[in-house]
A and B are shown apart, each in its own frame.
Chain A
Amino acid sequence: MLIKNSPAWALPENDVTPEAIYLNRRSFMVSALAASAGVALPGLLAAASVPGKELPSMSRPEMSTSEKLTPYEDVVRYNNFYEFGTGKDDPARYAGEMSVSPWTVKVDGACGRPGTYNLEDLLQPSQYEERIYRLRCVEAWSMVIPWVGVPLAGLLKRFEPASSARYVYFETLHDPEQMRGQRSLFSTIDWPYREGLRVDEAMNELAFLAVGLYGRELPNQNGAPLRLVVPWKYGFKSIKSIVRIRFQEERPKTTWELIAPQEYGFYANVNPEVDHPRWSQKRERRLPSGLLSPNWRETVKFNGYGEQVSHLYKGMDLEKFY
């Protein structure tokens, strides 16, 4: 049974008013300013800390939340990308060792137009969109991030998936020379990192391929040059630095499912009712979270995107298909 139970702060996406958009734009600018002001030596360092080409995009307010953005500095300095180490600051520290240009994506499996595509050719005809999504990590913290990119569905359709294709499989770059986390002798991850979606999930309007954030090209640590963003699922589903897309009939085994199937399922939909065996998923810390005023929030089913995605899971026992 699906009970829609949105707290006050979760504006349904179609209720976002022009004022909200305006305010949101302002809060975007304010947090960008705050981010640069927060740097010890403003001027130079601030300019250096916001690298990457600007990406013109069309904003999609109806696809965006109007919640307060997580400051740029936090988005790019605090995340998981185990290819570069398991510490939260490892990606920011070491992802510079990866080269993202030129970049190709191999497309294969059950589709009409398989091949190895240059990233530019993949993205060429598309108009970038900006979507502000919530991101809920399985570790019980969350952020609000303005992504720039293209809807996943549009891109996938260009490869003419066959009717037999029921799943889409993704793979991250595997190159221990550039990714020091992959050189670790004690990692239990069987590289490359693998993820997957059901085709109908992949075709959902929320599923997004990001090439940028905060109006600029993705920093390497956030999954440059191409990453998935599926905001109704835990963050680890949003695979980074994608080099392969495959259409297939059978359900792919995903990285975390392979390591600990009792902890991480294929679906990994955000769900406060299903605990991770090691911790509760009922609440989350929205970052930045202060020490004296921790920013606790009740976690919402499907991360608050139930309206768009709950139909995908109708009749499924979400305790079983976690």
Chain B
Amino acid sequence: MGMAGAVLNRPRAVRAFKVLVAFMAFLPLAILLSRLVGSGLGPDPGQQITESLGIAAFQLLLATLALTPLKRWTGWVGWLRVRRMLGLFTFFYAVLHLLAFLQFILGWGDVWATFTKRPYIIAGFLAFVLLIPLAVTSTNSMMRRLGRRWKTLHRSVYVIVLLAWVHFFWQARSDIGEMLAYGVVVLVLLVVRVRWSRLLRAGRRGAPSA
């Protein structure tokens, strides 16, 4: 990686990157709060908040999934150092999104019917439920304790991202441009993942040394 790489690999540079990413991950919430205070959320703030939190959770999930490919392309370890943090931010926004939906959109009424009858809600809720074990097992000690099973468990994130996208897509009314754009990102991330696991397996068969 040359000179730039050497500088970037210093612990201080990685730490600074972590702080920057944490700052960026807080931005959606900060923007929401500032709009709330400045009453820039319009006459139906609950709706705006719920939507914004959901989009933030989805974007952070995509960002989390992009980190491993970024590491492979650039070789820089900094990407992986923020993976757990972004995963937990994803969960954080997902919790807020669910609470906002219950409070502002449902008003805690019709909860059972909503979560059993409406397909897009079921998809979103399933994505949320599947995120819980990932958040719970995100600690170092859990990683150690689960060993190889940790990786298997955390592969469910690919199911989660598909569910989250379906949850989003099924809310389209007439214009699906935004949903399709996100869909392309999801697709790219999945294709990259599948290709690597193929290459990896082929590599293992060819040279069973590692």
Give the interface of A toward B (CB within 8 A). 70-71, 74, 77-78, 82, 86, 88-89, 141, 181, 184-189, 259, 277-280, 282-283, 285, 287-291, 294, 296
**Chain B 33-45 interface mask (CB, 8 Å, partner A; 1/0):** 0001000001111
The answer to whether B175 and A294 have CB atoms under 8 Å apart is no
The residue in chain B whose Cβ has the minimal distance to the Cβ of A296 is: B107
What 0/1 readout, one digit per residue, does chain B (166-177) give for beta carbons within 8 Å of chain A? 000011011111
Contact status A82-B175, CB under 8 Å: yes
Contacts of B114 in A (CB 8 A): 279-280
Q: Nearest chain-A residue to B172 (Cβ)?
A: A188
15 contacts between A and B (CB under 8 A): A82-B173, A82-B175, A86-B174, A185-B177, A186-B180, A278-B170, A278-B171, A282-B109, A287-B43, A288-B43, A289-B45, A290-B45, A291-B46, A291-B49, A291-B104
Q: Which residues from B are CB-within-8-Å of A78?
A: 42-44
> In the complex, A278 Cα to B177 Cα: how many Å?
20
Q: How many A-B residue pairs have CB under 8 A?
A: 71
Measured CA separation A259–B175 after assembly (Å): 11
Assembly CA distance A187 to B179 (angstroms): 11
Does B113 make an interface contact (CB < 8 A)? yes
Interface assignment of B198: CB less than 8 Å from any CB of chain A: no
**Residue of A74, A89, A259, A285 with most chain B CB atoms under a 10 A cut-off:** A285
Assess the A188–B175 pair: CB atoms within 8 A: yes
Contact B118 A278 (CB under 8 A): yes
The answer to the question of B128 belonging to the interface, with a C-beta cut-off of 8 Å to chain A, is no
Hey, which chain B residues are within 8 Å of A77, CB to CB?
Answer: 42
What are the 4 A-B residue pairs with the smallest beta carbon separation, nearest first?
A: A186-B177, A288-B43, A74-B43, A287-B43
A280 touches B46 (CB 8 A): no
B43 touches A289 (CB 8 A): yes
Question: A186 is contacted by which of B45, B109, B170, B176 (Cβ under 8 Å)?
Answer: B176
**Neighbouring B residues of A88 by C-beta, 8 Å:** 42, 44
Q: With the chains together, A265 CA to B127 CA distance in Å?
A: 31
**Nearest Cβ on chain A to B174's Cβ, whole angstroms:** 5
B94-124 interface mask toward A, CB cutoff 8 Å, 1 = contact, 0 = none? 0000000000100101100110001010000
If the complex has contacts A278-B120, A296-B107, are A184 and B175 also in contact, measured as CB distance less than 8 A? yes
Binary contact readout B20-50 vs A (1 if CB under 8 angstroms, 0 otherwise): 0000000000000000100000111111010
When distances are taken between beta carbons in the complex, the residues of chain A under 8 Å from B107 are 283, 294, 296
Picked from B43, B47, B174, the residue with its CB within 8 Å of the CB of A189 is: B174
Docked pose: A280 CA to B171 CA in angstroms = 14
Query: Among A89, A184, A283, which residue has its beta carbon within 8 angstroms of that of B177?
Result: A184
Give the residue name and chain of the B residue nearest to A70 (CB): B43
